[in-house]
Amino acid sequence: MIRFYFNLSPNPMKVALLLEELGMPYEPVPVDPRKGEQFTPEYLAINPNAKVPAIVDDGTTVFDSNAILLYLAEKTGRFLPEPGKSRRGELLSWLMFVASGIGPYSGQAVHFHHFAPQPQEYAVNRYDFEVERHYRIVDERLGRQPYMMGADYTIIDMAVWGWARLIPRALDDEDALSRFPNVKRLHDEIYARPAAKGVERLSEQYQFKIEWDEEARRNMFPQLARLGLK
């Protein structure tokens, strides 16, 4: 059985969605970053980068959410576009678009809106701009076709969904998703799928630390120590 190391942030949730879509049995293993559980020797042996998610599948360890999506899709032969070199290239391009663009810029936007110890107008402007730019690209594509790869629902849509749920928080605007109507359509469609209900049940089953105290700041943002901040 697959061991799935996770918390409730966007990257683990898109992997949870794929596991639920595949109907694969898995053992959820919560890793609470505000408690520093990502830094235990046991977890660092699985992912030296101290991030979630990660999976261990019959002795094979995979970390990074996009790598896991691709690994599971290729293992099962599901939620991939029709075979062909050009289609695989397209799939990899959009998967990396999410991995190197949507995810990092969204995460930084959340950080500078909600967690930076000092106001950072320049940083907020930069990351807000990039979040909106990336989602406009996705929105335009989804305006021409039902899913990111065309007519077929794939792991790219799951990767987009994982982060699209965070758009209001990333842009610090509860109505921000409405700026991207085609992204919202995909977001809502996936939320209505039975697999997303399974993700919700998983989210409700485990409790993670919610207090934003000194321990949480130390474990989430160890770089603050370099500035003498707590």
Q: Mean pLDDT, to the nearest integer, of 163-175?
A: 97
pLDDT at 186 over 80: yes
pLDDT at 118: 85
Residues 67, 3, 73: CA angle, nearest 5 degrees: 35
Q: Quick one: what percent of the chain has pLDDT higher than 70?
A: 98
pLDDT at 225: 78
pLDDT at 230 over 70: no
In the sheet that 54-57 helps form, which strands lie side by side, from edge to edge? 26-30, 2-6, 54-57, 60-63
DSSP annotation of 173 reads -
Class of domain 85-192: mainly alpha
Q: Mean pLDDT, to the nearest integer, of 85-92?
A: 87
Q: What average pLDDT does the chain have?
A: 95
d(CA 226, CA 230): 10
- Local structure of 23: helix, strand or coil: coil
pLDDT at 58 over 90: yes
DSSP annotation of 230 reads -
Q: Which tens digits make up the pLDDT trace of 35-47? A: 999 999 999 999 9
Q: Mean pLDDT, to the nearest integer, of 95-112?
A: 98
pLDDT at 89: 92
pLDDT: is 119 or 78 the higher one?
Answer: 78
> In the chain, where does the domain assigned CATH 3.40.30.10 lie?
2-78+197-227
pLDDT at 224: 79
* Choices 3.40.50.170, 3.40.30.10, 1.10.3720.10, 3.40.190.10: CATH for 2-78+197-227: 3.40.30.10
pLDDT at 115: 92
pLDDT bucket at 85, cuts 50 / 70 / 90: low
pLDDT at 155 over 70: yes
Q: Quick one: what percent of the chain has pLDDT higher than 90?
A: 89
Q: Which tens digits make up the pLDDT trace of 118-153? A: 889 999 999 999 999 999 999 999 999 999 999 999
pLDDT at 227 over 80: no
Q: Mean pLDDT, to the nearest integer, of 42-67?
A: 97
- Local structure of 61: helix, strand or coil: strand
Q: Is 192 exposed, middle or buried (0-12, 13-18, 19+ CB in 10 A)?
A: exposed
> In the chain, where does the domain assigned CATH 1.20.1050.10 lie?
85-192
pLDDT at 226: 81
